[in-house]
Amino acid sequence: MLGIGAKQELPTILLIDDDLVSREVIATVLTLHGHLVHTAEEGNEALQILEAGAVTPGVVLLDAQLPGLSGTELIAKLRGLGQDEIVLISGTTPDEDLIAAADGFLLKPFGPEDLQKLLGQHKPKIDQPATPEAEEVVINPETLAQFRQMMPESTVREIYAAVVIDLRKRLAVLQTAIAAGNRDEIRRVGHAIKGGCGMAGAVQAARLGATLEAEAESDQLDNCADALQELYSATERLERMLEREFPA
């Protein structure tokens, strides 16, 4: 469930709990205290929400006993997506390794005062900043929604599959052009990526295409290699989104 709540000065919450009653009660308590709350029933669903860029939570409340992907493995994946405040919740005390991997623990049932006290201690960790890759949306959700309204799922999948194939080809051309210092080619390919990916709503790739175009136009190619590596990563994330949103 995405997005119930209000006060923007309080951290947004992603609540991951497979128990329907616990999930609804906790979400209601948080919402009544002014938090914007998003919920997921299990680990993979939570990762999909985060990878899609639909949610940027300040705090993740994680049930310690989830089916499937859970525990320290799930925490590691959440860390990889830029989550630096993960609080365990459980009806029993988890093992020490799991507690150590998180940033706090609340024993169910807990009252709103306990929850608010812990959440009030939330401070972003300066040594674990969320990277731009973790925060930036892969596909503009509005564009994706419009495509889905206009055409069948199979056609939408074909569009993004074509974008990935095109990016792979352009990456090879860019690598050669950057190595040769060919500003005209870098500008041309960057402009094409900016336009094509922009139309498809592939915002990460479009931004990097614009960066490459601007670098070439300014005759400053120092940052092109870094932008190219980011574009490789953006293409991989787009491909993962494709597999997740449109399974074969």
CATH number at residue 111: 3.40.50.2300
> Which pTM does this prediction carry?
0.48
What pLDDT score does 201 carry?
Answer: 87
Domains identified in the chain, total number: 2
Task: Give the torsion through C-alpha atoms of 18, 104, 99, 39, to 10 deg.
Answer: 20
Q: Is residue 183 part of a domain?
A: yes
For the segment 86-121, what is each residue's pLDDT rounded down to a tens digit?
999 988 888 888 988 888 888 877 766 777 677 655
Judge whether residue 239 has pLDDT over 80: yes
If pLDDT is split at 50, 70 and 90, which confidence band does 126 have?
very low
Q: Please count the other Cβ atoms lying within 10 Å of the Cβ belonging to residue 119.
A: 21
Judge whether residue 154 has pLDDT over 70: yes
If pLDDT is split at 50, 70 and 90, which confidence band does 137 have?
confident
Q: Within this chain, do residues 123 and 17 fall inside the same structural domain, yes or no?
A: yes
Residue 246 to residues 165, 166, 188, 198, Cα–Cα distance (Å): 16, 18, 31, 20
- Identify the weakest region by mean pLDDT among 102-106, 134-138, 157-161: 134-138
Judge whether residue 6 has pLDDT over 80: no
Judge whether residue 220 has pLDDT over 80: no
Pairing of strands 86-90, 104-107: parallel
Across 72-78, average pLDDT: 91
What pLDDT score does 85 carry?
Answer: 86
Q: Within this chain, do residues 52 and 114 fall inside the same structural domain, yes or no?
A: yes
Q: Within this chain, do residues 106 and 199 fall inside the same structural domain, yes or no?
A: no
Q: Within this chain, do residues 164 and 185 fall inside the same structural domain, yes or no?
A: yes
Residue 6 to residues 10, 23, 71, 204, 226, Cα–Cα distance (Å): 9, 18, 30, 28, 38
Q: Within this chain, do residues 37 and 99 fall inside the same structural domain, yes or no?
A: yes
For the four alpha carbons of 181, 183, 188 and 189, in that order, the dihedral sign comes to positive
From CA 175, how far away is CA 235, in angstroms rounded?
14
Question: Which CATH number fits the domain that encloses residue 199?
Answer: 1.20.120.160
Across 206-228, average pLDDT: 85
Q: Which of 26-30, 132-136, 195-199 has the highest mean pLDDT?
A: 195-199
